[in-house]
Every structure is written in structure tokens, then in C-alpha cells.
Structure 1
Amino acid sequence: MTTIADPLDTLPDEVAAAAFRRLVRHLRHRHDAQNIDLMGLSGFCRNCLADWIRDAGYEGDKAQARALIHGMAMEDWKATRQTPASDEQLRRMEASVAKNRVE
């Protein structure tokens, strides 16, 4: 039996990298899209992207990865961009993240 590769794996790395950078820059621009809302809608956020680049081989630590994605230190992001999460946002995030679990 032949396994068909995911077509995404045929995307040239330079194209994938350009798309990733565009996504990160878009998220930097749209700081009104709170991480809690991204988590509630899609089950991932900027911090997840930072974790994923580390998983992919980025040699920086967690703080450096987050600064790379956020465009500033995490402490500065929280102070200037992050708003308090409502109970509803937290509920949506929990429900969404539960869908990420692979059994």
C-alpha cells in the first residue's frame, strides 16, 4: 500500500517560510486579536507559534521565541497589548483546546 504524502509537504520551504512570516507580521499588526480569542476560535495563539518554532529547531529559549513572534518581550506585550480575559473567553478557550487533544 502506498501512502500519499500531505500536499502541504510538497510546498517549497522558502514559500512556507514566507507565508509563516506573513502570518506572524499580520498577528503583530492585529494586536486587537487577543491570544485568548485566537485560542477560543482556533486552539492556537502566538505563544503556540513560539512553541512550534522551538519544536522545529529554533535554538532560542521560550522567552526569546515569544519575543520573536510577538515582536517584543512578553512582559512588554502583556503590559501594552493584552487585556484581561473574561469568563466567556476562558470557557471558549478551554472548549477549543479540548478539540486539540489527539487520542
Structure 2
Amino acid sequence: MDDAQKEKFEAAAFRRLVAHLRERTDVQNIDLMNLAGFCRNCLSNWYREAAEAEGEPISKDKSREVIYGMPYAEWQARYQREASPEQKAAFEENKPQGH
């Protein structure tokens, strides 16, 4: 496999992951963080960092919209729930550096 094919497959996998996360609005970001150590916001940050590394500045709001499929505030209003004390405790115990 050459580099172009590899990048094409990686991009397809990324698009599928984003689509999956858009469909699974029942899964909260804190659940993702507690189980996997990353969430939708992490993906949007990585997307923004990749764009900026290529000389394409993108705002935090725009990169979040790419991942969420809508403005972040709209997603929060529609789908985000208050984290339970158990979720918050698990996050504090396991949170990655920088969160």
C-alpha cells in the first residue's frame, strides 16, 4: 500500500468514526473520556491542529462543527446531560493530562 492509499483509508475511517459519533448522541463526552481517554472535543482539537499545521487556520467553533455536525452550543442544548457524580469522579481519577 502506498502513502496515498493509506491516507485515503485513514480519511475514510475518520469520516466513519465522526458519522458514528454523530449518530450516538446518547453517548456523552464524559463517557468517552472515561472509557477511551478522548472525546468529540479532542477530535475537533486534533482536526484544528492538523489544519493549522498545513497552514489552514480554523476556529475552535468551526472545528467542533465539523465533528458535531452542528454548532457546538446546539449539540449541547439538544443532547448534553449533566454528568452524574460517578461520571465526574471517574473523570477526575482517569483524566488525561491537559483536561
TM range (shorter): 0.7 to 0.9
2:80 equivalent among 79, 82, 86: 82
1:69 counterpart residue number:
67
Superposed CA RMSD? 1.8
Structure 1 spans left out of the alignment, 5+ residues: 1-8
Say how many residue pairs are matched: 91
The superposition leaves residues 26-71 of structure 1 with CA deviations (integer Å, 9 ceiling, x where unpaired) of 0000010100110111111000000001111253200000011001
Runs of 4+ in 1 over 6 A off after TM superposition: none
Pairs within 5 Å for 1:33-44: 33-44=27-38
Provide the C-alpha distance between the structure 2 equivalents of 1:68 and 1:15, rounded to a whole number of angstroms: 19
Letter in 1 for 2:61: A
Provide the C-alpha distance between the structure 2 equivalents of 1:41 and 1:14, rounded to a whole number of angstroms: 28
1:16 is the counterpart of 2:10: yes
1:48 counterpart residue number:
42
TM-score by length of structure 1 reads 0.81
Mark the structure with the bigger radius of gyration: 1
What is the percent sequence identity of the aligned residues? 49
Structure 2 spans left out of the alignment, 5+ residues: none
Whose helix proportion is higher, 1 or 2? 2
1:4 counterpart residue number:
none
